Structures are given as structure tokens and as C-alpha cells.
Chain A
């Protein structure tokens, strides 16, 4: 589908609204909601089934929280049960043991897990994969042990009884099951609404960038640690809310349902339902709450079958059951119609020929290895400088230092007279330095346009509040971002691929998308790590033209490259490295003929004939 707005086909705003209201993406949730509202009125449910439904609703909220952490942000947590437990216990201790009102309990039942989530998120922000899984398991085990053993606080294994249900200022009493069902339903709907909007917001995009490639997210301007902490906070807050509803729903809690096994159940729900979306969480929670009931005819084998189904789901449904609706989702969410700006309109304007970057005595040592050793060079604004040298001479290390992926061992990096050595990658991106990678690092599962939109993260602000509440300013900002993204995409000539998954593009086009993404951060200086690697001759020519055009717009570049013809056709000055040290520098023509440089690449003549 063409993403560009076709002139003369604009429909009137009112008509657009009606169409939007009638689209399936709105109708189906409304229908589902109506069913949910009518269900208990039409069917006469046994109290056992009623309690299961309440259980599934509290689980839904917890699992949606886990989906934000795992599916949206890519952080594996096996401690969701602990946050669930902390929420339930905080609420129950305050409301049942200390007689406080439901609402104070509810508030504390969300805030206390959030505090724990914040601390865990903050302390583990540098960990990922199985390490993160282990921290969350440890947290889970410690919480379980404390719930069982700190009797004065939690009553230990005896648990807490007489947990109250809410009462809305004496107007509505939620203590009977039907009213409490509606109370829970409101919570579930609000949570789903929030999680759904989060996924398609700019914050959600930043989370997805962290999930797809943490390193690329950082240099593209995403505040990676903040995103991870936020995901933990949201996940633990929702687990807490789920815990409160669980406790109020059952009126009794003990430590058992908040153990490691429960965390595993939440994880299974998330994966079987589909961790990538809010609805997947809903589906997983409902399905796995009722599945054991449906499998009861298998008697003692039913949980074994449950385990078996988890394996099958992971093998055959990588995106969960909801992932199967991916084909439908394309129909639900029509590609946005985006009008492209002109790239020139928003790339920063530069005064030419001033000193832009100055590197003095820059060093990076790995133990005894001096990967970069006291290197000096400057980049004048508006120039293209090439950084060349044999393999292992420290070129990529320098790019990593300049883009904030490494912290220098010594020396200074001044960018527009500001020291940037050791700053976080996202802060460097925000100052106006963008980069590409030698081995392309795109956000594979995101669309091409979304990949580029991530580049705008450091140019805009979005809070959780604007995610939760639709508002004009946020919508307009989002439109502006997509227009800018489209502009860079048009510039590299890939506007017709905007809604492709990045990973499905051919290699050469992926390189262009990476450059477009770097441009979307509105850089003053572009760091290119072997941009022509793996490109064929015509693609390389195209690339050279593109980079020349960008340079004419005023963009400065630092180019790491092995292809000398490319260096000759682009760079005005060259710095040559060997074994981490600068061995030559000057204009391109002069430097490439320097005997020292020739020797570094080809060896001495005696060596050659020895």
C-alpha cells in the first residue's frame, strides 16, 4: 500500500472519523467489551466459575505488565509473581490487618511494587539475558521466603483473611461478586487500553528499539537505561494492581500463590498468548487459567500436558496465539499516510570551516592491549574525513569512543568545544553525532519507517501521561516525526519500502536504512563504519552520490573505510592508524602516497621479497 498521501483523495475529517469508528479494530474490542459486560447477566455462573473469571482478570493485568517488560522491551523476568505478591500483601496488610480504606491499600499496593521494580530495574539495567533472569529469580525466592517467615508482618504460612472489597464513597458497593467483576473489568479495560496505546506510541517505539538492538538503540538516541527502568516500573506496578484485585477477589491470601511457580505460570501465559501485544496477555491469561479446568478429565496428567503445551507453543507459535492474528493486524492498522518533509528543512544548519571536533591524546586500553594510543585529530565542519588503517589498527574502537559505546582510558574528545568522552551514547546522539555500524544493526522486527522514527527519539519528549490520554499535541508531534522519517527515507530512495520489516530488506537497502536512521537524529556529524562493505559496484556508486549530496547540505562525516577508491572520491583529509597509533595525516592525495602508509598496508619491500 502506498504510504504517501495522494493529492485530491483527502477525505473530509468527519467522514474519516466515521470510517475509523467503523473499522474492525474499533468494532471488535467494543463487541468483546459488550460480551464481557453482558456475560454474567445472561449466564447463571456457579461461584466456582465466577472466582475463576475474577482470577483470570487479575492475571490478565499481571501478564499485560509482563508483556510490557518481556514482549515490548525484551527483558526476561521470572519474578513477576513476587511483584504480584508484594502488591497483594501490601494491600492486604494495610486494609485487612490495619483497617485502612480500600483505596489507600490499592494505592500502596501499586506504589510499593513500583518502588521495588524501580530499584530492581535500576540495579540490573546493565544486565540482560539469563543474568537478568537470575536476578529476578533471586528476588522471587527471597520474597517468597520473607512472606513465609516474617510472621509479624505477613502472618507467615497462615496468610491473611478478611480482605475487603472497594466501596465507592458509599455510592456503589463492590462487595458482591457481580459488582466486583465490573470493577475488575474497568481495571482490565484501562490496562489494555494503556498497553495498546503504549505499543504504538513513541515510548513504545523506544522500548522496541531496546528489545531489538540495545547498542543501536543507544547510538540512535534512545535512553536505554531509562527505557528499561520504565518497563520494570510499569510491569511491577501492573503486577501490584493485579495482586490487589486478586487479594480483594479471593478475600484470603497466603504465600503459596506468589512463588516461583506462579512466575513461571505468568511467563507461560505471556508466551502462549503472545508477549508482543496487550491482547496476547489477555488471551494467555484467560486460556491458561481455564485450561487446567478443561484438562481435568485427564486427571493427574493435566499439568504435565500443560507443560507439554508450553513447549509446543514455543516451538510452533513463536509469537504466541495472538501472533497468528498478525495477518489480520495488517488489515486492522492501515499503514499511516505520511507526507514527507524535505531533508534540508530540518538537518541542522552549519557555519562552514570551523573546528567541529577535536580529539586529543585519545587512548583506549583493554588490559595490556593498547587498541588506541594517544591519537590526535580534528574534524572541520563541513568536511569528510577518512580514518583508515590495516585490520586491528583501532579504527572501529575510535568510532566506539566517539559514539559513547566505550569510555576512553585517556585523552579528550571535544565536540563543539564540549567534552563528550565517556558520555552515554544517547547523550552524544542528542548533541548531534550519529553513526552506522560495520555489521548492520537495524531493529529487525520493526518496519523500515519505525526504524527511522526511533532516530527522532532524542528530539522529542513523551511522557506516560500522553500515552494514556489521547491529545492533539502528542498526535501532531508524532505526525511530524513520521514526516521527518519519511523525508530521510525518500532521500535514500526507499520510500516505497516504508512498511516492510527491516529484516526482510536486501543487504544493500539495509545499509541505506541505517544511514537514514542516523540522519533522522538530525546530526551535525555522521560517523560511518565501512559503509560500502558488502555492497556491489553500482550500490557503492549510489552510496557515494548520496554521501556527497549530504555533505553538500552541510553534514560533516568521519568515514572508516577499506575501499581506497571510495576514500579518494569522498574524503578531503585522511588520518591513518596502525597498531592504535596515528602514523600519517593530511590531504587525501598526499597521505595515500606517504611511504609509511604504504608500508603499513603492504609491508616493507624487503619483507615482501624475503
Chain B
């Protein structure tokens, strides 16, 4: 039983990270119809921003968190202007390639500035384990789950209850009509990119005390997040969250009970099965082109 709780909390924590990044992917996808391959690199960039600021200026974890989020706001704006905006009227392929280029760029800028050595952030908690029903759990895992839950709640409140959120939804659903109604579509998309960068950034700072912070950490997070999006149903917010948590759990339980060496293969194996048998994912709707 204790082992199950242990695995469950680890799986949910890792899954939360994937869910946050997946959420960022979906928000951009809905608003701009772009699949952002650099989403995981947002997490990487924020993790570096937090780590480097914490060590250089002796900031606390929370101050470094705040600093990283500010960096992400700026990065989101830059990203929208440099990577998406010039290509906004082209088909999906050039934009995907452009985000891949951005991913290479971000990773290698990080490499150039911060070097190849992995870095570490110290957890903000004084205690190392929390005891839950006999299971020993790292409080950082609980923090990840809690912050993710809060962000997801915020997301629902923001999009359903605030005017800005509704404007952003309108933009996502129909740009032309939104424009006719006087919604500044370009601004809304820019805000979406910033929001998405912040989501990715939060994931990065949250995971930093658990994993080593490396320039390559974003790629694998990106790929797992995509897997989460597709398993959940591409385009569905709920799908991204459930998909993320699901991938996290499958990975951790698979590593524990089947094979640790093939840990990363489980997510992609599940993804391949979903794509073959239910390509629209769990919450996705079957879309077919109209003649």
C-alpha cells in the first residue's frame, strides 16, 4: 500500500508537469492553430532563470520563481513576435518548423550562456519527506500537484468568468468574427503566447528541485506533453490535463513494475496505440474536412 501511494504521488507530480506544459501547447493551438515544439524549452528556460538567479543573487526559491515568471512573460512576447507573427498567414508546417528552430535556438543559447554542466535548485522545504499513510513523500511533489491544481482552477475561472478570458476564447473560436466585434485579435494571441510561456515556465521551476536542470530537459518534456495532448484529445483542455496525469502515472508505474530502462518508451507506446485505435483521443471530437 505504501509503495502504491508513493508511486501514485510521484506519478501525479510528474504528470502534473506534463499537464502544465500540455496545457500551454493546447492554449496556443486553440488560439493560433500552431503546434509549439518549443513549449518544453519554456520550462527549460524558466528552470535556468530560477536556478541562475537563485545562485547569483542568493534569492529564495520563491523569489527566483517570481523572477523566472517575469522572464517568461518577456520570452512569451519575444517568441510571439519572432517565431509566430511573421508566419501567421502561412500553413501549419512552416510554423512548426519555425518553433523547432526556436527550440534549437533556446537550447543552444542556454548552452552558450550557462554551459553544459547540469545545475540544481535547492528545494524550498526544510523537511525532506512528508509522511502520508506510511509513505514517505518529497514535499516538492505535493507542491507540484497543488500549484498545478491551482493553475488549472485559475484557468477555468479566467476563461469562463473574466472578460479578457472570454475575448481570448472568442479569438480562439473565430478570428474573423472576433475581429468584427472589435476584439484586438493580434493582442489576444500575444497574451495567449505569454500565458502559455508562463505555464511552461511554472512547470520548469516546479520540476527544477527534482530533476537536474539541463539544456536538453525541454525536449523530452515537450514530447511527453504532446503525447499527453493527443492521448487526451488534441484541442481539449480537459484532455491535456487528464492526458498529462495519465502519461505521468503510466510512466512511473511502468518503470516500477515492468522495466525502468524502457520508462520513456511507455508514453510513446501508449500514444502510438491511441493514434492507431482512437486518433481523436479520449476527449477529442472526430473532425473531418468538409467537402
Known: A215-B289, A311-B101, A437-B291. Is A145-B262 also a contact (CB below 8 A)?
A: yes
- Flag if B97 contacts A134 (CB, 8 Å): no
Q: Does B118 lie at the interface of the complex (its beta carbon under 8 Å from any beta carbon of A)?
A: no
A127 to B107, CA, bound (A): 30
Query: Interface residues of A toward B: which range?
Result: 35 or more
Binds B, one of A224-232, A243-251, A300-308, A502-510: A300-308
A131 to B107, CA, bound (A): 25
Q: How far is the CB of B136 from chain A (nearest CB, A)?
A: 29
Contacts of A268 in B (CB 8 A): 97, 100-101, 104
A260 to B224, CA, bound (A): 13
Contacts of B106 in A (CB 8 A): 307
A271 to B104, CA, bound (A): 15
Contacts of A129 in B (CB 8 A): 92
As a 0/1 sequence over residues 229 to 269 of chain B, the CB contacts with chain A under 8 angstroms (1 = contact) are 01000100000000000000000000000000110110011
Of B98, B234, B268, the residue contacting A314 (CB under 8 A) is: B98
A456 to B168, CA, bound (A): 47
- Flag if B109 contacts A264 (CB, 8 Å): no
A318 to B89, CA, bound (A): 12
Known: A304-B109, A315-B98. Is A131-B291 also a contact (CB below 8 A)?
A: no
Q: How far is the CB of A458 from chain B (nearest CB, A)?
A: 19
Q: How far is the CB of B239 from chain A (nearest CB, A)?
A: 14
Q: Does B47 lie at the interface of the complex (its beta carbon under 8 Å from any beta carbon of A)?
A: no
Binds A, one of B2-10, B13-21, B184-192, B272-280: B272-280
Q: Does B122 lie at the interface of the complex (its beta carbon under 8 Å from any beta carbon of A)?
A: no
- Flag if B261 contacts A149 (CB, 8 Å): yes
Chain B residue nearest in CB terms to A397: B291
- Flag if A306 contacts B275 (CB, 8 Å): no
- Flag if B105 contacts A131 (CB, 8 Å): no
Q: Does B197 lie at the interface of the complex (its beta carbon under 8 Å from any beta carbon of A)?
A: no
A268 to B276, CA, bound (A): 28
Q: Does A553 lie at the interface of the complex (its beta carbon under 8 Å from any beta carbon of B)?
A: no
Chain A residue nearest in CB terms to B269: A142
Q: Does B227 lie at the interface of the complex (its beta carbon under 8 Å from any beta carbon of A)?
A: yes
- Flag if A303 contacts B108 (CB, 8 Å): yes
Contacts of B261 in A (CB 8 A): 145, 149
- Flag if A124 contacts B275 (CB, 8 Å): yes
Known: A267-B100, A307-B104. Is A131-B275 also a contact (CB below 8 A)?
A: yes
Q: Does B112 lie at the interface of the complex (its beta carbon under 8 Å from any beta carbon of A)?
A: yes
- Flag if A141 contacts B291 (CB, 8 Å): no
- Flag if A310 contacts B104 (CB, 8 Å): yes
Q: Does A457 lie at the interface of the complex (its beta carbon under 8 Å from any beta carbon of B)?
A: no
Of B87, B93, B105, B262, the residue contacting A304 (CB under 8 A) is: B105
Of B93, B226, B265, the residue contacting A137 (CB under 8 A) is: B226
Of A127, A303, A400, the residue contacting B291 (CB under 8 A) is: A400
Contacts of B111 in A (CB 8 A): 300, 303-304
Chain B residue nearest in CB terms to A400: B291
Q: Does B148 lie at the interface of the complex (its beta carbon under 8 Å from any beta carbon of A)?
A: no
Contacts of A399 in B (CB 8 A): 291
Of B101, B223, B230, B262, the residue contacting A131 (CB under 8 A) is: B230
Q: How far is the CB of B270 from chain A (nearest CB, A)?
A: 9
Of A124, A130, A261, the residue contacting B234 (CB under 8 A) is: A130
Chain A interface, DSSP helix/strand/loop, else mixed: helix
A to B contact number (C-beta, < 8 Å): 124
A551 to B106, CA, bound (A): 62
Q: Does A581 lie at the interface of the complex (its beta carbon under 8 Å from any beta carbon of B)?
A: no
Q: Does A413 lie at the interface of the complex (its beta carbon under 8 Å from any beta carbon of B)?
A: no
B202-231 interface (Cβ within 8 A of A): 219, 223, 226-227, 230
Interface centre among B94, B101, B226 (most CB of A within 10 A): B101
- Flag if B96 contacts A304 (CB, 8 Å): no
As a 0/1 sequence over residues 122 to 152 of chain A, the CB contacts with chain B under 8 angstroms (1 = contact) are 0110110111011101110110011001000
- Flag if A139 contacts B272 (CB, 8 Å): yes
Q: How far is the CB of A497 from chain B (nearest CB, A)?
A: 25
- Flag if A307 contacts B97 (CB, 8 Å): no
As a 0/1 sequence over residues 72 to 105 of chain B, the CB contacts with chain A under 8 angstroms (1 = contact) are 0000000000110011001011101110111111
As a 0/1 sequence over residues 240 to 277 of chain A, the CB contacts with chain B under 8 angstroms (1 = contact) are 00000000000000000000110010011001000000
Of A76, A141, A303, the residue contacting B265 (CB under 8 A) is: A141
- Flag if A137 contacts B92 (CB, 8 Å): no
Contacts of A210 in B (CB 8 A): none
Known: A76-B93, A134-B227, A405-B291. Is A304-B265 also a contact (CB below 8 A)?
A: no
Q: Does B271 lie at the interface of the complex (its beta carbon under 8 Å from any beta carbon of A)?
A: yes
Q: Does B35 lie at the interface of the complex (its beta carbon under 8 Å from any beta carbon of A)?
A: yes
Q: Does A396 lie at the interface of the complex (its beta carbon under 8 Å from any beta carbon of B)?
A: yes
Contacts of B103 in A (CB 8 A): 307
Of A146, A260, A308, the residue contacting B101 (CB under 8 A) is: A308
A400-428 interface (Cβ within 8 A of B): 400, 405
Contacts of A396 in B (CB 8 A): 291
Chain B residue nearest in CB terms to A438: B291
Contacts of B105 in A (CB 8 A): 304, 307-308, 311
- What are the 3 closest A-B residue pairs judged by CB atoms, nearest first? A307-B104, A307-B105, A310-B101
Return 13 A-B CB contacts under 8 Å, by A number: A130-B96, A131-B234, A131-B275, A139-B272, A141-B264, A304-B111, A304-B112, A306-B104, A307-B108, A311-B82, A311-B98, A314-B97, A437-B291
